Structure 1
Amino acid sequence: MKTLDDYLSGEVLLIDKPLNWTSFQVVNKLRWEIRQAFKIKKIKVGHAGTLDPLATGLLVICTGKMTKQIDTFQGQVKEYTGTIVLGSTTPSYDLESEINETFPIDHITEDLIYKTTQQFIGETQQFPPVFSALKKDGKRLYEFARAGEHVDIPSRTVNISEFEITKIDSSNSDSIHVNFRVVCSKGTYIRSLANDFGKALNSGAHLSVLRRTKIGDFDVTKAHSIEDFIANLTTDKQ
Structure 2
Amino acid sequence: MSQQNASTQAPGQPDPGQVILIDKPLTWTSFDVANKLKYACKFKKIGHAGTLDPLATGLLILCTGKMTKQIDQYQTQEKEYTGTLVLGKTTPSVDLETAFDAEFEVSGITSQQICDAARQLTGDILQVPPIYSAVRVNGERLYEKARRGETSDQIKSRQVTVSVFEVQTDRFPEVDFRIVCSKGTYIRSLVRDLGLLLNNGAYMSGLRRTRIGNFRVEDADTIESFVARCRAVLSPPQL
Instruction: Normalising by structure 1, report the TM-score.
Output: 0.91
Q: Does the 8 Å contact 1:161/1:183 carry over to 2?
A: yes
Q: Which residue of 2 aligns with 1:23?
A: 30
CA distance in 1, matches of 2:70, 2:110: 45
CA positional deviation for 1:142: 1.1
Q: 1:104 to 1:221 in 2, by over 3 A?
A: same
1:167 Cα deviation after fit: 4.8
Q: Which runs of 4+ in 1 moved over 3 A?
A: 4-7
Q: Structure 1 counterpart of 2:52, which letter?
A: L
- Are residues 7 and 32 of structure 1, via their aligned partners in 2, closer, same or farther at CA, if it must alter by over 3 Å? farther
2:144 & 2:113 partners in 1: Cα distance? 37
Aligned partner of 1:64 in structure 2 is 65
Partner of 2:3: none
Alignment of 1:149-228 (within 5 A): 149-152=150-153, 153-170=155-172, 176-228=173-225
Q: d(CA) in 1 for partners of 2:138 and 2:116?
A: 39
Please give the per-residue CA displacement for 1:109-142, whole angstroms capped at 9, x wherever unaligned: 1122222211011000111011111111111101
**Residue 90 (structure 2) aligns with:** 89
Whole-angstrom distance in 1 between the partners of 2:221 and 2:185:
25
1:236 paired to 2:233: yes
Counterpart residue number, 1:39: none
Instruction: With the length of structure 2 as denominator, give the TM-score of the two structures.
Output: 0.91
Q: Matches of 2:166 and 2:35 in 1, distance apart? A: 35
Residue 39 (structure 2) pairs with residue 9 (structure 1): no
Task: Supply the distance in 2 between the matched residues of 1:6 and 1:202 (Cα, whole angstroms).
Answer: 60
Structure 2 equivalent of residue 173 of structure 1: none
Does the residue aligned with 1:158 lie in a helix, a strand or coil?
strand
Number of aligned residue pairs: give it: 227
- In 2, are the aligned partners of 1:8 and 1:43 still within 8 Å (CA)? no
Unaligned 5+ runs, structure 1: 36-41, 171-175
Partner of 2:144: 143
**What stretches of structure 2 of length at least 5 have no aligned partner?**
1-6
RMSD: 1.5
Aligned sequence identity (%): 53
CA separation in 2, counterparts of 1:110 and 1:228? 42
